[in-house]
Structure 1
Amino acid sequence: MKTSRKTAITAVAGALALGMFAPATAASASVPGIEGYSDVVANEAITTLSSERGVSEVAAATLLQTQQNSVDALDELRSSLSSDIVSEYLDASGKPVVNVATKAAAAKAEAAGATAKVVSRTAEQLDAARAQLESVSVAHTSVGLDPQNNQLVVTIADQAKDSAAAKLTQKAAQLGDAVRVEHVAGGMEKAIYNGEAITGGGSRCSAGFNVNDGSQDYILDAGHCTAGVAEWNVGPSIDASFPGNDYGLIRNDTGSAPGAVTLWDGTTQSISSASDATVGQDICKSGSTTQLTCGTVQATNVTVNYPEGAVSGLVQTSAEVNSGDSGGCLFSGSTGLGITSGMGGGSSYFQPVTEALSAYGMSLN
């Protein structure tokens, strides 16, 4: 069961991560406000979007508000069209686009205000192709969906062994134009290293979402963090799911479990719901190494083959992360989206928070 963006949840992300930086420069007074965004997050998101797309601050703010409205619309469409939807994304103007298998489904989507595309490959066909690709597990590679082209993307990093990568490339070639292969620099690594923030066993991660089971506070964090460290400075690790998934639970014994994401300038971002990320959606993340950074969702349901094993169902974004950011929070305005998992090839990867909340039966604080 996944938590809808419409569901009222007292949200948020852990403000236990440490450190400060200078606040972002305030946007011009002529820039419209964005519903649910704190000033600091709005400024960072607008600045990033304006720079990446070469648009004015006013246009960036308008686009972010349009995206937020579109994601709400997609939530409704998922409920009404269910299995008829192959995939979905936000176009360059922030409007919702759904790929569907039939003309009847396209008509329903169009009536609801979305652009609909009848595509040649169904969700079942793409899932079958994905299963074949994932049967060839190669460290430092990933498999994700490109909804704009209704196509799977195999990404191979330089650190992948040539002989193993060749087998994966061969498998991709057998699947024809349902798959394309891309090559990136470096490797794909989970984001944890020695240092400070939430610490234990000589390792550092970032505090994730503060959650509770009705009587006890916990921190919902990256599974590779809780699997690797038994006792943190905030409390003991209670559970870990890694690899396969990348979520875990830390008992919060600090007596402090604020319902807000830290923004590193003394302010926080309130979050009122949890939801799944959408391709094309502009997002931000908070972590103890790179602090507040923003970017765009590049893919969802991505399988990343870390050296320690494969993790599936991840969200891929362009937001900067680095070692020590693991466990930190991915969000879009007032909506929590994910938990920092790793990085590779210039992208960052996040465990969907809805799946983790459901697995542990937790509510956001």
Structure 2
Amino acid sequence: MLTAVERDLGLTAGAAQQRFDTEFAASQTLEQLASDLADGYAGGWVTDDQQLVVAVTDDASAEQVRAAGGEPQLVSHSEAELNSVMADLDAAPTPDADEVYGWHVEVTSNQVVVQAAPDAVAEATAWAEEAGVDAVTVEPTEEAPEPLYDVIGGDAYYPGASRCSVGFSVAPAGFVTAGHCGGVGTSTSGFNNAAQGTVQGSSFPGNDYGWVSVNSNWSTQPLVNQYNGSAVTVAGGQAAGVGSAVCRSGSTTGWHCGEITHLNQTVNYAEGTVTGLTRTTACAEPGDSGGSWLAGSQAQGVTSGGSGNCSTGGVTFFQPLQPILSAYGLSLVTS
């Protein structure tokens, strides 16, 4: 965490640690003051120069703040009052998400702020008034919030009307998968049917690989779904040899394992010949295509096809990973 704070906030290691220490002490002080001041307390914050400011509603509370080492700021509304405004807004009929983006307590200005589209300030103001609250300011903003989703190996995705499985997260932001799942330009949606991305590369037959670039609502993760409530963290892409144990993840049958029996397998599908595949004893079924293959924490490839099923067993082939990365200039996302 220290390294990430240094990077994202532009701090030295010493400054980052000092900030953690100062803000931890401040949080302890605020917790105690909130208890001691009761209705006199209206929240607190740490300034850019690491000074603790505490909002209070009366002079007696201000003296207690000074005694605790903080700087008091007299305000009109207590924290309890602002939280009551929030509760009333939360209980009001939900406004149009295209007009009102959210609402929050802003301790530095001692009010509740409603964020709305610039052309919907009047509607947001009317909504707050209908909720019967005061201490509210409507703030216009262009930043409409959108949900964020994780790209995880083995999860379902939908290229058009069909279903396939995510292989591995890659950079630039996206994932590798099977080429037969969709041609270049195909739009994809995720496991939750939310718009996800676009197929940027696809090769089938000959090979069976492709990759999908994802939109900003999706975050690539170095994870593969084990379908038991946990995930494997991908550490690298070292290829395993014949006799190695491998496991695969797919959206139809979940998590199954087997052994590598042959490398450099040519498979003569009805659609055409695919070369350079790896043959295994693990099972798979339709919809598992494109899904992840792992040897331990090392990424191996993506499901191509096979025979049999996961009830009676079978043979499954996977497209090795490294040729996919090389073909499209991609980098595997790892831990």
TM-score, with structure 2 as normaliser: 0.49
Higher relative contact order (CA 8 A, sep 6+): 1
Q: More strand by proportion, 1 or 2?
A: 2
